[in-house]
Structure 1
């Protein structure tokens, strides 16, 4: 049976890899994509999504823009992490169509028309999803599942010492989303892929080399880590070339911040959870998001023991299998790349 997914992203290099992964899955029906401001502006997110859909031969997947900024605070983007356009060094042809508007309305309408059939996957700040919940408070019941990449629990943040990027960009939206799920039956609680699990999905140059080989590239076609910053891939397979150029920028960012020549591809894991293609375990918890200005804004705290006396509002992933995730991702994207070559 097809997994029908509503995808909300802020593309972004790891969002791009997640999108390509979903497009490589025959059993995934990508119903629509909502473009949320985060890594880059909402307009640039939409352009990136449309360009990737075009590259992967799926230009008919609807892409829409919702909010143009967080609910209550100014938007902060990350050109140092993802590049000024959000896709690192990758240069994709301009998409042949413009994005639609009204992402929030489209999500609500889709959920109402297809109760119990759609999985919501959000790898961006939760702005659009919070607005959708304001419009339709029954979304937790209407959706089949909800998968969120965001937060960090008993783990160092990647934006401040305590806060993860997506939650820090729009903490008020995150707080509204978790509040909307509080008290729902366990099977309806959002599956939360937080930093302690997603930073285990540590992409290395060897994974890109393997992707290139399995996609049919000859060994000399790729540029490798010892090359100077900014060097472009020479891969003959277009999808491999685009992903290699995007990921090279991401590798360089992580190295610049003393994390090694690696890339944390957070959103790929969340996409695989939504697609139902990887194993994981969760713990039920009540999540609080700090929204007050100050050094702890965007911090997420999980009460696993019911000490607050509140009902659970999340299932936080507590175990995953990184080698299995990379086997799944590399093999699936390589097969798509071969078909598109």
Structure 2
């Protein structure tokens, strides 16, 4: 029986690539997508989300609109990327998307889908966790309907990727955007697996991978994903950052959990400067699972095979 899945993403290139990857998985039944206005502006991100559903013939999947804005905003230049994505040749001439203001609110869609699911639901988050936390604050009885939460988040034994004023660089962006909700999520003690920077640092977007993907250009998904990844080359200045497969690695965990090494730890989230959003190993904290390694060869080969469908 396919695994019921709710996906919450925040509209960036790697989030949209993750959405495409989910839609290639035969053992996953995607029952809803919610979008958080974190690493995106919400209207173009909702349009991108819908266009990808159109491309895959899955317009039946409902989309929820996140209206909660976190504590620490992503840089504006990162948030504007969906505007470019919507103009790509494979997407620009698709039929118009629905009114972005007509979408159900993200927490309400999560509540609706958890309530109505015939079985437990896996939740995949490739952006901040705020929409899920808002939903569970409103309907705490639905915690029992969650089979597992998989979240691309955190940095435990490695440096964070937040570089901004009044911060010491220890946090990862998805946690830093809303550290208070992040700490709440840990406190719920759900079956929670984090795919942190510790493991995503092992899977950069390399020219060698893009070259292999380009040999599959006659396949629609390889063509589109190649264009999307090419846009990441200058998304953030290469002298400042390396673009990694953050979200798509977390998404691949759905299909290949056995290719990851994991560890059960106890952790907390700092909610105040100078290390707001830092995920701290703490024996007095909350139990969760973190990924510490991945079979990188298997992972890259898996992506190439999925996008050749």
TM-score, scaled relative to structure 2:
0.87
Q: 1:9 aligns to what?
A: 9
Match 1:299 to one of 257, 278, 295: 278
Say whether 1:265 aligns with 2:235: no
* Equivalent pair of 1:87/1:246 in contact (CA under 8 Å): yes
Q: Find out whether 1:286 has 2:266 as its counterpart.
A: yes
Q: 1:265 to 1:76 in 2, by over 3 A?
A: same
Shift of 1:283: 1.5
Cα 1:89–1:96 shift into 2, 3 Å: closer
Counterpart for residue 233 of structure 2: 251
Cα distance, 1:258 vs structure 2: 4.8
Matched with 2:154 is: 151
Is 1:201 paired with 2:203?
yes
Contact 2:12 2:82 (8 Å CA) reproduced: no
Count residues in correspondence. 299
- Alpha carbons 2:41, 2:79 under 8 Å: kept: no
Q: Deviations for 1:61-91, whole angstroms, at most 9, x for unmatched residues?
A: 2111033312xx2633452487363749846
- What pairs up with 1:50-129 in 2 under 5 angstroms? 50-70=50-70, 73=71, 75-80=73-78, 83=81, 85=83, 87=85, 90=88, 92-93=91-92, 95-99=96-100, 100-114=103-117, 116-129=119-132
Unmatched tracts of structure 2, length 5 or more: 164-168
**Structure 1 residues 61, 324: closer, same or farther in 2, change over 3 A?**
same
Bigger shift: 78-87 or 55-64? Answer: 78-87
Can you give the 5+ residue segments of structure 1 that lack an aligned partner in the other structure?
182-187, 217-236, 336-341
Give, in angstroms, the shift of residue 334 of structure 1: 1.6
2:179 to 171, 176, 199: 171
8 Å CA contact 1:133–1:180 kept in 2: the answer is no
Find the aligned partners of 1:48 and 1:84 in 2 and give their Cα distance.
6
Distance in 2 between residues matched to 1:166 and 1:326, nearest whole Å:
24
1:334 match: 308
Partner-residue secondary structure (3-state), 2:302: helix
Matched with 1:27 is 27
Q: What SS does the corresponding residue of 1:200 show, helix, strand or coil? A: coil
Instruction: Sort the Cα spacing of 1:61 and 1:278 in 2 relative to 1 into closer, same or farther, 3 A.
Output: farther
Contact conserved, 1:11 with 1:87, CA < 8 A, in 2?
no
Identify which range, 148-157 or 238-247, moves more after superposition: 238-247
**Aligned partners of 1:113, 1:203: CA distance in 2, in Å?**
38
C-alpha contact 1:35 1:46 (8 A) present in aligned 2: yes
TM-aligned CA distance change 1:88 to 1:327, over 3 Å: farther
Provide the residue aligned with 1:317 in structure 2.
291
**Which structure has the bigger radius of gyration?**
1
Cα distance in 2, alignment partners of residues 60 and 264 from structure 1: 31
Query: Separation in 2 of the partners of 1:42 and 1:22?
Result: 21
- Which runs of 4 or more aligned residues in structure 1 lie more than 6 Å from their structure 2 counterparts after TM superposition? none
Alignment check: 8 A CA contact 2:121 2:146 kept: yes
